Structure 1
Amino acid sequence: MDKQKTFRRIVTGHNTDGMAIIISDAPPVLSQLIGGQGGPTFFEVWHTLETPALIHTQPDDTDEKALVLPPPANGTRMRIIEFPPEGDEIRNLTSADAAAKFKSMGDEKASTSNEEAPHPLMHKTKTVDYGIVLEGEITLVLDKGETTIQAGDVVVQNGTNHAWANRSGKICRMAFILIDGEFTGDFKTN
């Protein structure tokens, strides 16, 4: 399998005269392979710490040194994930293995894996997520049902229990924008 080309992250800001400038033009600063060979690679693109987001003249994202699954409280997060084709090393994960993988992403409590789960990497976060398939295809697995999405398709996740299964035989690259959220009182949460 060919290694995917790392993408550029262009960050804009302002100079001391208030003119728009490029602050940086390079691959994302933080990337992490989760779970070793056969696991997805997370590329942390950007995050904000509040809404409305504060716009700084010289934006900087150096406040996080490790992968954190959810966005900051009242903030947002954008990341790219490259999902390799799913193999037995993923399909045969135990609930404890799945919890350990989510712990390595900074959110062990997101894991909802159990013996009856439709996929071992089922998880749920208090977020609204926009997921855009940039390249390849992947299957979105929910508690009840699943659908395969392809390049150009967009998923709007509303705090749903889900997993991603790459059954295509090729890498799938997705962009995610995560927005911190709260469940309303009419939710049955598990």
Structure 2
Amino acid sequence: MNVRRVVIGTGPAGESVVVSDESAPRSHDFVHTPGYGYAIMWDSPADLRLPFDGIDRSLATDIFFPMPGETRFLAMSIPPDSLFTSAEFDAAAAAAEAIEYTPGAGEIFAGEIFEVDNPDMHETPTVDYSIVFDGEVWLELPGGGEAHLTRGDVVVLQDARHAWRNKTDSPATMYGVMVGANK
């Protein structure tokens, strides 16, 4: 995903300054899941100290989901569900690519990324604050409940099994902050 990220910090005299203005450097548009992509916009450690030390931790993050006390700000594009039922979709290649580009997710998803009976149903050890930026998504819960979300809708997700569904013909874009929690 090509998302512009402007980082503001404090200069030597205490003034506010632009530290960087560029596309988020840690992003991926998936080859085997066209329409799915993400950009890690920012990553903050549990022991966050101010002023900003100039280190972009999103570049060094070695696990996709934040650890307890850490935060991660993401942009995410969700493809239409029809992709997953098309004859051209290679679930094994898509799963391998997802594990490669979302380090640590394999352990969290425990093989559930592309379940035949319940695709993409998962649970993460985080509290997530998500907003639909463009398009429509359905937040599906394992008991059959769902919430239809459109542009501007906000979800607060607290360590609950869920799946994001896109029942339209166009990708949807979401932004969110994940906060790592203790389990």
Shared fold per TM-score greater than 0.5: yes
Letter of the structure 1 residue corresponding to residue 126 of structure 2: T
In the alignment, which residue of structure 2 is the partner of 1:64?
59
Q: CA separation in 2, counterparts of 1:150 and 1:21?
A: 35
In the TM superposition, residue 165 of structure 1 has moved relative to its aligned partner by 1.1
Q: Are the equivalent residues in 2 in contact too, given 1:118–1:141 (CA < 8 A)?
A: no
Alignment of 1:51-130 (within 5 A): 51=47, 53-62=48-57, 64-65=59-60, 68-89=63-84, 100=96, 102-104=98-100, 105-106=102-103, 107-111=105-109, 113=112, 119-130=118-129
Mark the CA change 1:31 to 1:90 in structure 2 (over 3 Å): closer, same or farther. farther
In the alignment, which residue of structure 1 is the partner of 2:134?
135
Q: CA separation in 2, counterparts of 1:122 and 1:90?
A: 16
Q: Are the equivalent residues in 2 in contact too, given 1:102–1:110 (CA < 8 A)?
A: no
In the alignment, which residue of structure 2 is the partner of 1:186?
none
Q: CA separation in 1, counterparts of 2:142 and 2:94?
A: 17
- The Cα offsets for residues 12-36 of structure 1, whole Å up to 9 and x where unpaired, read as 0111111110111111011112462
How many residues align structurally? 177
In the TM superposition, residue 37 of structure 1 has moved relative to its aligned partner by 3.8
In the TM superposition, residue 119 of structure 1 has moved relative to its aligned partner by 2.7
Q: CA separation in 2, counterparts of 1:67 and 1:85?
A: 28
In the alignment, which residue of structure 1 is the partner of 2:9?
13
Mark the CA change 1:121 to 1:9 in structure 2 (over 3 Å): closer, same or farther. same
Answering whether residue 150 of structure 2 is matched by residue 150 of structure 1, we say yes
Answering whether residue 31 of structure 2 is matched by residue 32 of structure 1, we say no
- The Cα offsets for residues 143-186 of structure 1, whole Å up to 9 and x where unpaired, read as 11112101010011100111111111112110010001123xxx
Q: Tell me, what secondary structure is at the counterpart of 2:120?
A: coil
Q: Tell me, what secondary structure is at the counterpart of 1:148?
A: strand
Mark the CA change 1:36 to 1:65 in structure 2 (over 3 Å): closer, same or farther. farther
In the TM superposition, residue 101 of structure 1 has moved relative to its aligned partner by 5.3
CA RMSD of aligned residues (A): 2.8
Letter of the structure 2 residue corresponding to residue 135 of structure 1: D
In the alignment, which residue of structure 1 is the partner of 2:180?
180
User: Larger RCO: Structure 1 or Structure 2 (Cα < 8 Å, ≥ 6 residues apart)?
Assistant: 2
Between the aligned residues of both structures, percent identity stands at 27
| Structure 1, unpaired ranges of 5+ | 184-190
